[in-house]
Chains A and B, each alone.
Chain A
Amino acid sequence: MFPTPIHQRPIINQYIYKIFLPISLIIWLIPIFGILMTSIRGLGDITAGNMWGTPSEFLLFSNLYDVFTNTPMIKYTLNSFKVTIPTMLGAVALSCMTGFALARYKFKTNLIIFFIFIAGNFVPFQILMIPVRDLTFKVGLYNTITGLVLFHVAFQTGFCTLFMRNFIKALPQELIEAARMDGASEFKIFWKIILPLTRPAIAALCVLIFTFIWNDYFWATVLIQGDHAMPITAGLKSLNGQWITAYHLLSTGSIVAAIPPVIMFFLMQKHFIAGLTLGATKG
């Protein structure tokens, strides 16, 4: 293990470590505390310039009430779910198939196709922006959730294919050979043998895609204009423009925006990390 485990160190070092650990955590989380505290405050504190001191009243619930009743925040949150969940399902479904094809069949263009998926995944969004927006316009999906979802599914398929292909490739080949001997069709192999084994990979991709898409801001501004389809990130930004100094409400809104991915992360942390490190985690 590196570094040397702390319990093998002199007792004084152990104390220093145990004191520094929470201190460093508190410093690290100052921005988060800042936003939590602000969401508790009332307008009084803000106008009095009490931005970072102790809140004089506990108004979290009234702020939440304000945010939900006076702004389209509920709509934004729902839109985010409507964009995120179908994207997650779509990209995972497509990439299970592409990943399987690239991991398990030998054909000439296999590696080239794989590399195209990887390369596409790293491309700057701006090189796609004008044609994608144009295409979305032409098929009548500009300003709709469907239009946004279709693009997200396509783009995320790149990363998901990379992940799935490597995951399926690491599965034992004998399983498939044995099934083929038994006369199972290729689709049956995919459906009955491979798919059940990819469950951890599917879980990892689901959390990752959820977080990526939930937090997407760029495409939401490029493909959506009105409140009716706007997801929460773009919604927050537009509220930011409307209430220049209503920090308490903006903070509350930010917390609402942050909760779903945070819950997802804490529930599925292991899968999340496995996904991020492209499956480098052991056991």
Chain B
Amino acid sequence: MELNNSKPKRITWWQKNQIKISPWIFLAPGLIFFFIYVIAPIFVSIGISFYQWDGLSPSIYVGLQNYIELLDDEYFYISLWNNLKWLIFFMLAVPIGLGLAIFLNQIVFGIRLIKSLFFFPFVISQVVIGLIFTWFYQPNYGVIAPFLDLIGLEGFSILANEDTATYGIIFAGLYPQIAYCLILYLTGLNNINSEQIEAGRMDGAKGFHLFWNIVLPQLRHATFLAIVVTVIGALRSFDMVAIMTQGGPYGYSNVLAYYMFEQALSEYGYRMGYGSAIATVLFTIMMFYILFFIYRMYRNEREDNN
């Protein structure tokens, strides 16, 4: 009996506070890691953007100098403008993915395998996709060379022309991105409420009308995710640019993500402060989308709790 009495006493504090303390024990490793490698660096980067620093010698505080320089930097504007092109044209992945999903949402022999093969490009590294498309675009012996010959553009190099290079890269980037959106929409179509569709059909809704008023609203979740991942993909476009043109010709296919890297880490010099200023601009643009995403999640959370 005595033993029984002493035992609970020893663990009361823990018993009492277990539920309060445990979440923090579970959170600690992940949160600390995430803080060191993701959250803190954001603020450090913003800080560095007010300095001139080559990464080795002591840094010099220059205030807004880096940002002022950005305002006069022609290549910064080119990159920003290209980012806008990415944002606009990359969005094509969403409707094309939806169209393909509708096309593939059938039950016929072999459809499962066919769908998997359509997802394929998404699984492959962008480095590989970038390489393939670079060969496709090769003047004279690329896959599209015969077509270019047909329209009188013999020997035309898409990636070496300042007007077409960015579009060439975006087109290549669309290939995996369409597959991504396709996956999202096929899942969405799979989850659709068929009773509503049938009811709509009973009421005489057909074709586009049925699609627009009954199907599309039900694909909200898929559309939202598709837009979010496509925007983020567009703003993160680094791999493709690095593989296909390295920002060339003369910076005309550059985007902020690659321009930052070039300024901070490549043979063009180690301008950490200037690079950080570019990264901060990119981060600010991205922050709008992040806040929008979080706001939506927050709304859902509140709906769930009510």
List the interface of chain A (C-beta within 8 A of B): 1-3, 5-7, 17-18, 21-22, 24-25, 28-32, 34-35, 38, 49, 51-52, 94-95, 97-98, 100-102, 104-105, 107, 110-111, 113, 115-120, 122-135, 150-151, 153-155, 157-158, 161, 185-187, 190, 211, 214-215, 217-218, 221-222, 233, 236-237, 240, 247, 250, 254, 257-258, 261-262, 264-266, 269, 273, 276-278, 280-282
Contact = CB atoms under 8 A, between A and B. Distances in A.
Nearest to B24: A101
Nearest to A190: B26
A130 B19 contact: no
Given A31-B175, A129-B279, 17 more contacts: A7-B107, A25-B114, A32-B132, A94-B33, A111-B298, A122-B289, A123-B42, A123-B286, A127-B45, A127-B280, A130-B272, A158-B38, A190-B26, A217-B238, A237-B243, A250-B131, A281-B190
Given A29-B117, A34-B135, A127 B34 contact: no
B221 interface: yes
A214 B124 CA distance: 9
Contacts of B38: 120, 123, 128, 154-155, 158
B107 to A, nearest CB: 6
Contacts of B129: 31
- Which 8 pairs of residues, A with B, have the shortest CB-CB distance? A154-B37, A131-B41, A101-B26, A105-B23, A98-B30, A186-B22, A215-B125, A94-B30
A71 B192 CA distance: 50
Interface of B is mostly: helix
A3 B211 CA distance: 8
Given A97-B30, A128-B37, A31 B133 contact: yes
Given A125-B236, A254-B132, A115 B294 contact: yes
A173 to B, nearest CB: 13
Interface in B1-51: 18-20, 22-24, 26-27, 29-31, 33-34, 36-42, 44-46, 48
A118 B194 contact: no
A103 to B, nearest CB: 10
24 contacts: A3-B102, A3-B105, A3-B106, A21-B114, A30-B143, A35-B131, A104-B23, A107-B23, A119-B294, A120-B38, A120-B42, A122-B293, A123-B283, A126-B261, A130-B275, A150-B37, A155-B34, A186-B18, A190-B26, A215-B124, A217-B238, A236-B125, A277-B225, A281-B191
A52 B143 contact: yes
Nearest to A6: B106
B60 interface: no
Contacts of B39: 116, 120
Contacts of A158: 34, 38
Interface string B169-207: 000000100001001100111111010010000000000
A119 to B, nearest CB: 5
Interface residues of B, number: 103
A156 to B, nearest CB: 10
Contact of B121 (A32, A104, A105, A280): A32
Contact of B125 (A6, A7, A258): A258
A195 to B, nearest CB: 12
B95 to A, nearest CB: 16
Given A254-B128, A258-B124, A280 B221 contact: yes
Interface of A is mostly: helix
Contact of B34 (A30, A130, A157): A157
Nearest to A38: B135
Interface string B271-300: 010011011101100100110011001100
A126 B282 contact: yes
Given A124-B283, A124-B286, A257-B125, A6 B108 contact: yes
Given A126-B282, A217-B127, A273 B183 contact: yes
Nearest to B138: A51
A273 B22 contact: no
A154 B34 contact: yes
A238 to B, nearest CB: 11
B99 to A, nearest CB: 11
A124 B41 CA distance: 12
Nearest to B107: A5
Contacts of A265: 116, 119-120, 123
